Structure 1
Amino acid sequence: MTRRNAGTRFAALLAALTLVAGCDRADEHLAGMAGGNADRGRTIIRKYGCNTCHTISGVPGANGLVGPPLNGIARRMYIGGVTTNSPEHMIAWIQDPKQFDSKTAMPNVGVTHRDAVDIASYLYTLK
């Protein structure tokens, strides 16, 4: 292996390690950007029945098999496969998913804006 190849490989390895190390910070950053209370969000998820359809870490009884598991949602590029994953879109999706996809199976269950902000904040903490 030449010195040049070794240097290139080292730089690529360093970049990959930096990305992996930054993943947790990115999740925390998204949770903070949502602007809510993640602990409250974890608690109220059950109020709206999210646990009926979704598997959600940290939420007792959240073993649903209808909707996708929500673990690691902060790292996904899209919400519902149709809109970019951002705090604004996550909050809006939680409140009214059909505004993004009229054919989604996820119902509008009347989540208030404050509750959607808190739920989004919690979801962005999931690894």
Structure 2
Amino acid sequence: MNRGLRAPLALLLTLPSLLAAPGCARTDPPPPPQVRNGQPARGAELIARYGCGSCHTIPGIDRAEGLVGPPLTRFGARSYVAGELVNNADNLQRWITDPQAVEPGTAMPNLGVSPLDAQDIAAYLHTLE
């Protein structure tokens, strides 16, 4: 075989395998652990009190059928919070207390949720599997 054709031919033979490798080939993180000190029942009450259901659909919360934000169904089984943070207790609480610090300009408003309230809200959301 002509030496001038070997390199291009080798590239052509390996190119399909390079293109077949997906860009999102990383392994998703495991489901989040439950919030250790959170109280899910209180979290459900707080979700209703803060009006989260006006923007989100949230299972188990009366009149939580909002269509502005994403539905929070099966939230405990999700890998990421807001597409930015690995879904774990600390990151979810961070998002709930100050979403603008995580993603400036997000439609999620800062509702003035205290760290204790965020802990309980996160505890409830992580029960949704």
**TM-score, structure 2 length as denominator?**
0.73
In structure 2, C-alpha distance between the alignment counterparts of 1:71 and 1:96, rounded to whole Å: 22
Displacement after TM superposition at 1:49 (Å):
1.1
Aligned to 2:50: 48
Displacement after TM superposition at 1:103 (Å):
2.1
Q: Percent identity?
A: 44
Q: Is the 8 A contact 1:71 1:126 kept in 2?
A: yes
- Of 49, 66, 69, which residue of structure 1 is paired with 2:68? 66
In structure 2, C-alpha distance between the alignment counterparts of 1:48 and 1:110, rounded to whole Å: 9
Aligned to 1:111: 113
Runs of 4+ in structure 1 deviating by more than 6 angstroms, as ranges, are none
Aligned to 2:23: none
Aligned pairs (5 A) from 1:7-26? none
Displacement after TM superposition at 1:83 (Å):
1.3
Give the 3-state SS of the residue equivalent to 1:66 in structure 2.
coil
In structure 1, C-alpha distance between the alignment counterparts of 2:34 and 2:76, rounded to whole Å: 9
Residues matched between the structures, number: 100
User: Which deviations, in whole Å up to 9, do the C-alpha atoms of 1:59-117 show, x marking residues without a partner?
Assistant: 00000000001111111111111111111000010001111100210000000111000
The reply on whether 1:83 has 2:76 as its aligned counterpart is no
**TM-score, structure 1 length as denominator?**
0.74
The reply on whether 1:95 has 2:72 as its aligned counterpart is no
The reply on whether 1:31 has 2:34 as its aligned counterpart is yes
Give the 3-state SS of the residue equivalent to 1:46 in structure 2.
helix
Aligned to 2:59: 57
Q: Which amino acid aligns with 2:124?
A: Y
Gaps of 5+ in 2: 1-29
**Which structure carries more helix by proportion?**
1
